[in-house]
Amino acid sequence: MHDLRFISDVQFKEAQDAPLALRLTLRETTLHADYVAEMARQVVLDTYGEEGYTRGLVVHTTIRKADQRRPMLQCGEGSPNTTAVMGIEVRKHF
């Protein structure tokens, strides 16, 4: 921002000298999001066709943990039926 003149020299120095405010969290963030990943894959395929696999796209998603847990619990998380019930068809291996 300083190089592009969005902030002054004084603001730049103040930003460099300011302490970093970090918030550490100890909550569990691991979540299997197969359902959401499949939905995102479908959107990419619908938009770009097979080129969606080779274009180098990066897809970011967000989901609340409870929203992903619901379908996983209904399908029996970890069971062989999980992917079948959600309708996931593995078409490509990455």
What is the longest distance spanned by two Cα atoms in the chain? 61
Model confidence over 3-41: pLDDT tens digits? 998 999 999 999 999 988 777 665 666 667 777 888 889
Report which of residues 22 and 58 the model is more confident about: 58
- Do the beta carbons of residue 2 and residue 9 sit within 8 Å? yes
Phi then psi dihedrals of residue 91, to 5 deg: -100, -30
The whole-number pLDDT of residue 34 equals: 75
